[in-house]
Chain A
Amino acid sequence: MLTFIAKRLVQSILVMLTVGLIAFSLFRYVGDPINNMVGQDTSLEERVELKEKLGLNDGFLLQFGRFAVNAAQGNFGFSYQHRRPVSDLIAERLPATLELSLVSAFLAMAIGIPMGVYTAIRRNSWLSHSFMTLSLVGISLPTFLIGILLILLFGVVLRWLPTFGRGDVVQLGWWSTGLLTASGLKSLIMPAITLALFQMTLIMRLVRSEMLEVMRTDFVKFARARGLAERYVNFVVALKNTMVPVITITGLQLGSIIAFAIITESVFQWPGMGLLFIQAVGNVDIPIMAAYLVLIAFFFVVINLIVDMLYVVVDPRLRVDSAGGH
């Protein structure tokens, strides 16, 4: 088990280096940051000097090497726009993104799994049909459109919820949380639903099809034949056996929730890392873009690792194998 984790961590460093390398080779196409950093009356000499000092005239391999060496020491450089260390900015924005993502992932599972089970067991009820129709909407509407529609309905027309931002936050050490204030919770509702909707429908459909598959297997039939309660058969015998692919997908989706929070965050002006990144792209703030991309790659790797370890917990067969056989 330990060798397995160590191996995966080594792999993760390779993944992050590759992401960084690809990112740096792309940065030359995003435009010139200098014009966003100086006023219109700043002279050409000063602009040229600034570009030189920032090392933007160097080849991308050199720029990447410098970034990798500094990043290895925990130094992600200095944001062009905010004029502050990137690590400070990310630490400031990380809680907002993680809170939003985790609440969304929780929502998606807490609603998606029961819906999936229900539609599998009562395939022909009208409620199942309406769930399926709803899920089609959820899977086909783009995130930003859902966000805008929610804002229009609950923010502009009904005026129940704030249309942007995170509300009041409470500082717990370096972690800022919006979960402890009324305005923070109210602000969280619409972004969390927007971000969760796609995942929820995905999980629902996945659980449904896996469940239908498992229900046809012999051991479920035997369980029924033994006279076990229907509820026990459905939720313990069948559901447990559908969970392996569901865990894989939701685990990997957590990575994409964090990464795709960019769109939700920019629609709701949610002050997380995604918003920081999208603004950095607009302003060609290379240090932020580089740090963000590498960090997201890191998240994906870690989440994958956790998913692999969770398999062992859920599936006894894997546990026996990893313990070295009989």
Chain B
Amino acid sequence: MLGKTLKALLVGTTIVAGASAANAETFRWAFQGDAQTLDPHGLFETLTLGFQGNIYEGLVKRNDKMEIVGALAESWENIEPTVWRFKLRPGVKFHNGNDLKADDVVFSVNRLNTEGSDMKVVAALIKEAKAVDDLTVDIITPTPNPILPNQFEIFYIMDKQWAEENKATEATNVKGGDEGNHANLNANGTGPFIVKSRQTGVKTVLTRNPDYWDKNMRSNVTEAIFTPIAQDATRVAALISGNVDLAYPMPVQDWKRLESAEGVKPLAGPEARTIFLGFDQLRDELTASNIKGKNPFKDVRVRKAFIHAINVDAIKQKVMRGASIPAGLMVAPQINGYSAAMNARPAYDIEAAKKLMQEAGYADGFEVTMDCPNDRYVNDEQICQASAAMLAKINVKVNLLAQTKSKYFGKVLAQNGYDTSFFLLGWTPSTFDSHNVISSLIACRGGEDKIGSFNLGGYCNPKINELTAKIQSETDQAKRQAMIDEVFKIHQDEVGHIPLHQQPLSWGVSDKVEVVQRPDNQFDLRYAVVKK
């Protein structure tokens, strides 16, 4: 045993020596915005959590193939239906030199529930965390939860002692009264990179953690510099001129330019984000239509007519430059619960659509206002314009209201009473599981189960809420999949929404580096390699 440890130690030392002998490799990258905080429990948002993932780590992580693998936990098992036991990796140290212990995990679970935390959704998955010994933690869930490890990827572990020393035992509170929470601008994780300096909104410099536990990490980067660049044109120029090695997102219309420019190339792939249209099916009269006294979208024939009238392939060719993937389901292929057999879309068929409109009594069509963001998704406003033009063929006059995302979300979300009749929205389930999509977008809203909060159109079939609860706790994967399929079948038959496509990820990379593009648009420095 001792010999083995010694050998491991020796191997470790040689690799470290090898790494330090290599030249300094600097990696510079740019995104359109900055991580809003370094506090790992401060904001549940892709860029922020993805950026923090280079500094902090969770019990599990996703590798370059998006599989869940161990990070701070070496192994885990569902010892009882409601108890998950995680075995921590021995010898892991925080950047300040403290050892990772089960206490830190328990502390982090509790921190998820503090007032400023934006991770209360994750906190709600946990009833209690118990340290069994220094390297074993039991996570007790309120109901059986078969996908808990999947939901834990973005739950990062903080050092209890460091948080106490720096008065950061509560999550950074955006509501104020917590000015200068140490964890907002400083970080002490276990990850491969250490924060060297940070000026919010301007520049963050990371240096490699020499004591990182994973000696097989692919990256050879020793220093990483992150700069937010808000303007598309400036970001593209920064990449082409060689001022950054990776920049994203790149405007889809600039791909040709990136291809022809020397030393850079576009890196495109399907994003796990599904873009869809939805309609108000709840109100008895639409708020923004010329039809009074009734709601045409309550009639499934009208909704079916809409889905037949929208030519997704044309949107793909003309608006998305061939880079989107038409969708029939509300989830992307990367999402757990996706079923290829069910992803077919109803055919584009104007005649069928006209006939359905006639049967529903709207042969002359009607007028409706469409809410659309113009800076949230890839070419969002153009998609809405194209859809409006297509719907004109079945005599539906769409008045397009395309606005910046703050205005758009301020209008259509729950806080404003779901003020929309017809809208475009996009969704990536944060857990990479269909349950998140069903419970957020498809289930009836306003019930006691408090789900369906992003079901902006108020589509409702009580059977789906029943199934949602069962999917949540079903541990048999086959049974679970059958129930997910059933939900999607009902939703498709009733045309609860009109899925359009998965939008493309659009990055630009220098030929000098190699990176892995994750379908959730996260960038992981662990897989960034600067070529010699």
Contacts and interface: CB of A to CB of B under 8 A. Distances in A.
B415 A38 contact: no
A81 interface: yes
B237 A89 contact: no
Contacts of A266: 230-231, 234
A245 interface: no
Contact of B176 (A78, A148, A159): A78
Interface stretch (A13-21, A28-36, A225-233): A28-36
B120 interface: yes
Interface stretch (A97-105, A209-217, A274-282, A304-312): A274-282
B363 interface: no
A241 interface: no
A11 B440 CA distance: 54
A218 interface: no
B180 interface: yes
A282 B406 contact: yes
Given A39-B44, A39-B45, A267-B234, A46 B120 contact: yes
A82 B179 CA distance: 11
A43 interface: yes
Interface stretch (B106-114, B200-208, B346-354, B510-518): B200-208
Interface residues of B, number: 58
Interface string A35-56: 1111111111011101101100
B406 A283 contact: yes
Contacts of A299: none
Contacts of A85: 179-180
Interface string A253-284: 00000000000001111010001101100111
Interface string A137-153: 00000000000100110
Nearest to B154: A39
Contact of A44 (B201, B243, B410, B453): B453
A80 B174 contact: yes
Interface in B220-254: 227-231, 233-234, 237-238, 240-243
A163 interface: yes
B531 interface: no
Contact of A53 (B175, B228, B237): B175
Interface in A72-90: 77-78, 80-85, 89
A164 interface: yes
Contacts of A95: none
A165 interface: yes
Contacts of A284: 406
B430 interface: yes
Given A35-B410, A89-B200, A156-B240, A268 B234 contact: yes
B42 interface: yes
A31 B174 contact: no
B37 A40 contact: no
A35 B237 CA distance: 30
Nearest to A42: B118
B414 interface: yes
Interface string A91-120: 010000000000000000000000000000
B258 to A, nearest CB: 12
A84 B185 contact: yes
A178 interface: no
Given A35-B405, A163-B234, A163-B237, A44 B430 contact: no
Best-buried of B200, B406, B410 by chain A (most CB within 10 Å): B406
B121 to A, nearest CB: 4
Nearest to A47: B415
B5 interface: no
B356 interface: no
A162 B414 CA distance: 45
Interface string B82-124: 0000000000000000000000000000000000001111000
B443 interface: no
A36 B406 contact: yes
Contact of A152 (B237, B413, B453): B237
Contacts of B465: none
Contacts of B440: 40-41
A77 B177 CA distance: 10
Given A41-B430, A48-B415, A164-B229, 19 more contacts: A30-B407, A31-B409, A32-B413, A32-B416, A36-B406, A39-B430, A40-B440, A42-B120, A43-B120, A43-B453, A47-B415, A50-B175, A53-B175, A53-B176, A78-B179, A83-B181, A85-B180, A269-B227, A269-B229
28 contacts: A32-B407, A32-B416, A38-B118, A39-B121, A39-B430, A40-B430, A44-B450, A48-B415, A50-B175, A53-B176, A77-B176, A81-B36, A82-B201, A83-B184, A151-B233, A151-B241, A155-B237, A155-B241, A155-B243, A156-B240, A156-B241, A163-B237, A164-B238, A269-B227, A271-B199, A271-B201, A282-B404, A283-B406
Interface of B: 33, 36-37, 42-45, 118-121, 172, 174-176, 179-181, 184-185, 199-203, 227-231, 233-234, 237-238, 240-243, 375, 403-410, 413-416, 427, 430, 436, 440, 450, 453-454
